[in-house]
Amino acid sequence: MDDGKPVWAPHPTDGFQLGMIVDIGADALTIEPLHQRGKTFLAPISQVFPAEDDVNKHVEDNCSLMYLNEATLLNNIRIRYSKDMIYTFVANILIAVNPYFDIPKLYSPESIKSYQGRSLGTLPPHVYAIADKAYRDMRVLKMSQSIIVSGESGAGKTENTKFVLRYLTTSYGTGQDIDERIVEANPLLEAFGNAKTVRNNNSSRFGKFVEIHFNEKNAVVGGFVSHYLLEKSRICMQSQEERNYHIFYRLCAGASEDIRNMLHLNSPDSFRYLNRGCTRYFANKDSDKQIMQNRKSPEDHKVMFYRLASFLNAFYALHSLPFRVSVHEIDHYCVHGSAS
Ligand SMILES: Nc1ncnc2c1ncn2[C@@H]1O[C@H](COP(=O)(O)OP(=O)(O)OP(=O)(O)O)[C@@H](O)[C@H]1O
């Protein structure tokens, strides 16, 4: 770190701050922030990093930074995020920041087209660029490719996985029913495996391993989803601000009148296994009906939805009954009263 040049230093409460070194101690440096002259703070020497000459400039690939360290990487992502550029490369790794709103045209059909067959780095960073690289590597190397999506809850893993699936099926599908079916499986999976938590209204409560299968002509011909570690305890108990799995609320909100009457469906507040958590709806009327619209044939709908609804209704009814452990037979449970 050159004398007289600004550095990034971790402020005790405000993250990395740009400042000048004013004193050098045995293990700590005294830093004076550029935007708060006179208010110095101490930072460990090992965590003080050199800053770029122009801290307002951003680059598409963090590897292009003159100094690549924790602070310059975060600053680059922050500047890009403030300009609605949520994706940044670190070589062939993609960092995505959740924008929490739809960025116009970012995932448009035109955008999908523009990334087809283009090498990494020739277009702005995007999840489509990663999907296309995986596809091209599979063709060239004739080997399976994996995309690992990782991050904390609410980071955008589920959404970005869906964008990858949409990209591959749109760009390299056979144009047949299978492309849509791969994409359409998601709302169904999410209905049974996603729930509102305090951090994310659509949090996946299970791990997902998605396979996309290609034929010898490298066209999408199928998919397979394995799931693991489903949070089963949520079915019986949710904290006050959280909900059970979406399917239960969708059934209450989206079932047709005849099914509602037949199965005595009411609002979520009337079911014991829902009303101890949050019972608000978070979807609009259209998305509540999403499940019903998944299969194209109305007959398929009816049969599938009726079976599903009957099963779930039995579940509701079951949970309206209070249970207690029998004193004599500890591994048996008996019904203690009648259903409301
Ligand atoms: N690229 C994006 N554009 C617009 N909104 C987004 C994007 N990514 C995520 N979101 C919003 O953030 C919410 C949370 O994202 P998502 O469910 O993908 O997180 P997650 O990492 O899968 O979380 P969890 O681990 O809890 O399942 C989404 O429901 C969506 O509203």
Say if ligand 1 is within 6 A of residue 228 CB: no
Strands 93-96 and 41-44: unpaired
Instruction: Band the pLDDT of 315: cuts 50, 70, 90.
Output: low
In the reported structure, the alpha carbon of residue 158 is separated from the centroid of ligand 1 by a whole-number distance in angstroms of 6
Distance from the first to the final alpha carbon of the chain: 72
| 157 ligand 1 Cβ < 6 A | yes
Structure confidence by residue, pLDDT tens digits, 181-237: 898 888 889 999 999 999 999 999 999 999 999 999 999 999 999 999 999 999 888
200 lines ligand 1 (CB under 6 A): yes
Q: Percent of the chain beyond pLDDT 70?
A: 82
Answer whether residue 289 shows pLDDT above 90. Answer: no
Q: Name the 3-class secondary structure at 107.
A: coil
Mutate to test the pocket of ligand 1, among 81, 88, 100, 196 (most ligand atoms within 8 A of CB): 100
- Highest mean pLDDT among 76-90, 236-250, 252-266 belongs to 76-90
For residues 127 and 113, give the distance between their C-alpha atoms in angstroms, rounded to a whole number: 13
**Rounded to 10 degrees, what is the CA torsion of 83, 86, 91, 94?**
180
Ligand 1 neighbourhood includes 246 CB (under 6 angstroms) = no
- Give distance in angstroms: CA of 207 to centre of ligand 1: 15
pLDDT tens, 67-119? 999 999 999 999 999 999 999 999 999 999 999 999 999 999 999 999 999 99
Query: Which residues on neighbouring strands pair with residue 140, listed in sequence order?
Result: none
- Is there an atom of ligand 1 within 6 Å of 80 CB? no
Name which residue leads in pLDDT, 49 or 271.
Answer: 49
Count of all residues that appear for the chain in the document: 340
pTM to 2 decimal places: 0.87
ipTM: 0.99
Please tell me the distance between residue 102's alpha carbon and the centre of ligand 1 in angstroms: 11
Among 81, 49, 79, 47, residue whose Cα is nearest residue 66: 49
CA 96 to ligand 1 centroid distance, Å? 11
CB of residue 204 inside a 6 A radius of ligand 1: yes
Say if CB 21 and CB 7 are below 8 A apart. Answer: yes
Strands 333-335 and 49-50: unpaired
Of the candidates 5, 40, 47, the residue with the CA atom closest to the CA atom of residue 23: 40
Q: Is the pLDDT of residue 24 over 90?
A: yes
**Cβ partners under 8 Å of residue 53, min gap 6:** 66
**Whether the CB of 154 sits within 6 Å of ligand 1:** yes
DSSP state of 243: -
**CB of 203 shorter than 6 A to ligand 1:** yes
Confirm or reject: Cβ of 207 under 6 Å from ligand 1: no
Residue 269, token pair as written in the block = 């507040």
Q: What is the pLDDT of residue 19?
A: 96
CB count within 10 Å of CB 5 equals 11
Cα separation, 115 vs 93, in Å, equals 16
Q: Tell whether ligand 1 has an atom less than 6 A from the beta carbon of residue 193.
A: no
Scanning the structure block, which residue is given the tokens 């100094």?
A: 67
User: CA-to-CA distance for 266 and 250, rounded, in angstroms?
Assistant: 11
Q: Rounded to whole angstroms, how far apart are CA atoms 213 and 146?
A: 12
